[in-house]
Amino acid sequence: MKLAELCDTAPSYIGQIETGRKFPSMELIDKIAKILRMETYHFFKGSEENTIIETENIFPRLPNSMKKQIKARIKTQIDSSTDDILNDIFSKY
């Protein structure tokens, strides 16, 4: 949530980036890099075996407690969104 606030974007959008559902604009990537005090190119560095950007590569300097909070927030938002979608679907029947 803190990263989203610092980037002036929604926490759910950060979560979608982390889970690979969305890809941020270069402007947002630059903002995140500056906030984390790292070079932008680090987001695109992958190991030889895996070129997919993983949470550990994107946010290497975040404390584990913050990573856990981000994951918990994402799970809560996904659960809430799922409930909303299911309620919408079943309310039509």
CATH of the domain at 24: 1.10.260
Which DSSP symbol is given to 39?
Answer: -
Would you tell me how many other CB atoms lie within 10 Å of the CB of residue 18? 19
Give me the domain span that covers residue 18: 2-91
Domains in the chain: how many in total?
A: 1
pLDDT value at position 8? 92
The whole model's pTM is what?
0.47
Find which of 7-16, 44-53, 68-77 is predicted with most confidence, using mean pLDDT: 7-16
pLDDT value at position 48? 46
Q: How confident is the model at residue 53 (pLDDT cuts 50, 70, 90)?
A: very low
